[in-house]
Structure 1
């Protein structure tokens, strides 16, 4: 049985990884917290809070830095704009849903002087970035678990029903929609669409990377990232839930039970493929790619050739966030609230901090003068490194 399923069954209440049901009970062994002689300790600049955070739910609500503000949101409908220097609340909005929780889950994305957030209730919500005023909210086909993209005066959304659709940024009117097949059993999560040079790119639940013309929604091509194999639906999971990463003229993508793949954007053809499995986003420092695998191993690859440069297996099954790069270090958080700083050249630990025992659902976000992180229980902190 695949490791991601084992992880899902062991912590199903926390992660909600599978969109289907499972009757088996399996356990995994989480690696102990590694001993690290920290070379530096980050200093707190300010702190704030945002509702109840995402609690134990899947929601991947990442902070967004735009328009000189830090925007944060919680699953229960709170949205705030914060001063990046002081952490002071500039405005606060509460999104309500009749009879149910707002269940905000996809976003935050800034564009067109607005903020766009998706929900598990099948809505896309647009707020004025200056005041927090609700500009519009529309119902869409399925849950919106990934951050929307913006291009050509459109808001492009990927739903768990396999539909990518474009909404007019002014009023949310639907302009086009593309549907792809969704298998009976999938991982819980969706690839956030990415736009570049007039195209939109996203991963699908049936193991492909899709590309379309952003302005009119014309599907251009699909490339297989993973092919279903095995006798059971669980063995045949091939979701591509990572957000495509574009560096120059090359797009990088990875799939669960699939491959880490580099694709030439001009031809749409693979430049190289390597057999690695992941459902989280890729990070990069421009020349290297950093990946958290389905076993929570952290690995680095040469972006040109795909050669593995190093692998760190000491955080196995610690339910890591996607990686990010801060001050030249690779950074990941885990489910117990530890933040790990890793040397991008060697893969060795440089520093470690226990930030908040509620844990992390998303990695920190770099802003001027430091970085902002949000914890599962809604704490918002800005920190800076003292080396």
Structure 2
């Protein structure tokens, strides 16, 4: 089983086991908790728990909001639909059956269904209104990232390097594209994204790929990172962060690689900057916010690639992907803190301890106000910033 620490740390541990050298691990130290004078303190409206959460395992089960519900899940297969106003359970489904469901990729809403992938190479569809299982399909490898729901298809990127499309109504396989996976890779995979009849996703070999949504025919591949250096870690080039489409641009970042902006009309790289990351990033307006492999938080002008600011005070605190909520940038860390930053300056504006088990996925904004925070032990908190 794969315990998750943080991608960089987990890889260092793996390499030290392979080489018999502990120096890689010894060089990584979590930064102390920065001192912050809070300009606001989010209040908690309600709390509850969902099963056992994900514990220390690699399961990026991000809550999803829609259809007047908040959908949450734990790794063992418990999925709940909650009333966002009070946390009341609208329905509950346990997918465990004969053994642990090992939920790892999701959750995603689409076509009136809720989709989730598993470490047992399954994709499961539930009726979003009732929680009843609609179908369950075996795919070519673990599903560690969120599926994509588009054009009547559910598209998953598996750990074996296979992009596979399933019929959203029946779960039947429609097409698949296979790519070679290097011997040693990071634990994680890129979630696919779609626009204008194309699907785009990151590969473990350092490339970004594009294919036709209709039949999976390859359109192009673009190099984001190339193996270099003498150590195993230096030669890892996974593109695990999900690409982001914003207007006429496609953005992607690679581990030991680059952050790139690609013109969707020409397929050419508009700009490239030297940032290494395997964590999802976010674009808000003209600004792109990225958590690097060292857990430095960086703001970049999305149109030019110019760095606007960089905050290094949370180095190796095993940060979640960033989110923008109520005009602030927020990340969670392995000790269960939420760190709020001013989007213009990168300075801290608030810090709050939520749960000591840690926060692996970013907070999710609700449709009206407030946001949902999920901790590793399955605690669900509905919070909001006082106005």
Query: How many Å separate the matches in 2 of 1:118 and 1:47?
Result: 26
Deviation at 1:110, TM superposition (A): 0.5
Query: How many Å separate the matches in 1 of 2:262 and 2:181?
Result: 23
Stretches of structure 1 that go unaligned for 5 or more consecutive residues are: none
Q: Secondary structure at the match of 2:305?
A: coil
Call closer, same or farther: CA 1:88–1:268 in 2, change over 3 Å: same
Give runs of aligned pairs for residues 58-207 of structure 1, distance below 5 A.
58-98=58-98, 100-207=99-206
The aligned residue for residue 21 of structure 2 is 24
Would you say the 8 A contact 1:340–1:353 is kept in 2? yes
The aligned residue for residue 9 of structure 2 is 7
Deviation at 1:70, TM superposition (A): 0.4
Query: How many Å separate the matches in 1 of 2:272 and 2:323?
Result: 22
Query: How many Å separate the matches in 2 of 1:317 and 1:22?
Result: 22
Call closer, same or farther: CA 1:173–1:372 in 2, change over 3 Å: same
Give runs of aligned pairs for residues 272-351 of structure 1, distance below 5 A.
272-351=271-350
| Deviation sequence 1:350-378 (CA, Å, 0-9, x none) | 00000111111100000022000100000
Query: How many Å separate the matches in 2 of 1:5 and 1:110?
Result: 27
Query: How many Å separate the matches in 1 of 2:121 and 2:310?
Result: 39
Q: Secondary structure at the match of 1:360?
A: coil
Q: Secondary structure at the match of 1:8?
A: helix
The aligned residue for residue 39 of structure 1 is 39
The aligned residue for residue 223 of structure 1 is 222
Stretches of structure 2 that go unaligned for 5 or more consecutive residues are: 1-5
Query: How many Å separate the matches in 2 of 1:5 and 1:344?
Result: 25
Call closer, same or farther: CA 1:81–1:6 in 2, change over 3 Å: closer
Deviation at 1:185, TM superposition (A): 0.3
The aligned residue for residue 3 of structure 2 is none
Under a length normalisation based on structure 2, what TM-score does the superposition of the two structures give?
0.95
Query: How many Å separate the matches in 2 of 1:9 and 1:239?
Result: 12
**1:265 lines up with 2:267 in the alignment:** no
Query: How many Å separate the matches in 1 of 2:298 and 2:217?
Result: 35
Would you say the 8 A contact 1:284–1:324 is kept in 2? no
Query: How many Å separate the matches in 2 of 1:357 and 1:351?
Result: 18
Would you say the 8 A contact 1:247–1:286 is kept in 2? no
| Deviation sequence 1:282-305 (CA, Å, 0-9, x none) | 112120000000000000000110
Deviation at 1:22, TM superposition (A): 6.1
Call closer, same or farther: CA 1:233–1:177 in 2, change over 3 Å: same
Matched length: 377
The aligned residue for residue 251 of structure 2 is 252
Call closer, same or farther: CA 1:5–1:283 in 2, change over 3 Å: closer
Deviation at 1:170, TM superposition (A): 1.1
Query: How many Å separate the matches in 1 of 2:358 and 2:231?
Result: 33
Query: How many Å separate the matches in 2 of 1:215 and 1:23?
Result: 48
Would you say the 8 A contact 2:297–2:310 is kept in 1? yes
Query: How many Å separate the matches in 2 of 1:190 and 1:9?
Result: 14
Q: Secondary structure at the match of 2:201?
A: strand
